Amino acid sequence: KQEVTQIPAALSVPEGENLVLNCSFTDSAIYNLQWFRQDPGKGLTSLLLIQSSQREQTSGRLNASLDKSSGRSTLYIAASQPGDSATYLCAVLSGGSYIPTFGRGTSLIVHP
Amino acid sequence: DAGITQSPRHKVTETGTPVTLRCHQTENHRYMYWYRQDPGHGLRLIHYSYGVKDTDKGEVSDGYSVSRSKTEDFLLTLESATSSQTSVYFCAISLGLAGETQYFGPGTRLLVL
């Protein structure tokens, strides 16, 4: 059974820092991996989707990388801003399954 | 934002009563999903649909049923609500079943007393 772990569970940084959020998964036979952002009391917003054949995806200040062999993905946020404060979740879709496995998220606070 | 609405947004009910949650989309996406989100468990898939009248079970489907009579509507029913079903319920849609971005609704907070 696929297991997805996100470390750290919580992170507090000053504005302007570059930061890395981690997502690890136990079964490397994945179809894709998706990063989401969730604001308090809100639904999830998709940030980046990486297919299994891709190594990375970029959107603005966000860059997500995927290393299937090591079972890891990282979300890099450049020049963090207070508006980046949210919970970030990753979800893995394993090969042969239509049921994504979500991590429990990293709660990020960027303080001015 | 993807055109997804959920109703009701908040509900308080008593144990043993039936509850129906509605998800409505204006995107004409084929696939629709119901998730629940709980502290300590993260998001878990309850049921999903791959077309009108076509549904399948997810990871935590016991105690839940779904129906999809129109492309735009996906209903989640708790036949007899229990306190363990207190949760935040999210609907999601996607163009494809795999390899496609999922778009989420705003959620429904359900409290079962």
pLDDT tens track, chain A, 112 positions: 899 999 999 999 999 999 999 999 999 999 899 999 999 989 999 999 999 999 999 999 999 999 999 999 999 999 999 999 999 999 998 877 777 899 999 999 999 9
pLDDT of residue B99: 65
pLDDT recorded at residue A100: 86
pLDDT, mean over chain B: 93
Cβ neighbours of residue A96 closer than 8 Å, sequence gap 6 or more: A29
Dihedral class, residue B59 (left if φ above 0, else alpha if ψ from -120 to 50, else beta): alpha
SS (H, E, C) chain A: CCCEEEECCEEEEECCCCEEEEEEECCCCEEEEEEEEECCCCCEEEEEEEECCCCEEEECCEEEEEECCCCEEEEEECCCCHHHCEEEEEEEEECCCCCCEECCCEEEEEEC
Token pair 């891709």 in the structure block, residue: A54
pLDDT in tens, B61-80: 999 999 999 999 999 999 99
Cα–Cα distance measured from residue A51 to residue A44, given in angstroms and rounded to the nearest whole number: 19
Find chain B residues with C-beta within 8 A of A49's C-beta.
100-101
Chain B closest-CA separation from residue A3 CA (Å): 12
Is A9 in CB contact (< 8 Å) with chain B? no
Of residues A41, A44, A103, nearest to B104 (C-beta): A44
Nearest Cα neighbor of B75 from B46, B43, B39, B37 is B46
Q: What is the distance between the alpha carbons of residues B63 and A16, in angstroms, rounded to a whole number?
A: 47
Q: Under an 8 A CB cutoff, do B45 and A46 touch?
A: no
Torsion, CA A103, CA A59, CA B35, CA B22, rounded to 10:
160
pLDDT value of position B1: 55
User: Is A6 at the interface with chain B, CB within 8 A?
Assistant: no
User: Is residue A111 less than 8 Å (CB to CB) from chain B?
Assistant: no
pLDDT band (50, 70, 90) for residue B2: low
- Token duo for residue A110: 């960027």
- Which of A46, A98, A103 lies closest to B101 in CB terms? A46
Q: Is the pLDDT of residue B42 over 90?
A: no
Question: Do B36 and B89 form a contact (C-beta atoms < 8 A)?
Answer: yes
Q: Which of B90, B102, B107 sits opposite A34 (nearest CB)?
A: B102
Say whether pLDDT at B39 is over 80: yes
What is the distance between the alpha carbons of residues B82 and B3, in angstroms, rounded to a whole number? 30
CA-to-CA distance for A33 and A35, rounded, in angstroms?
7
Q: Which amino acid is at B52?
A: V
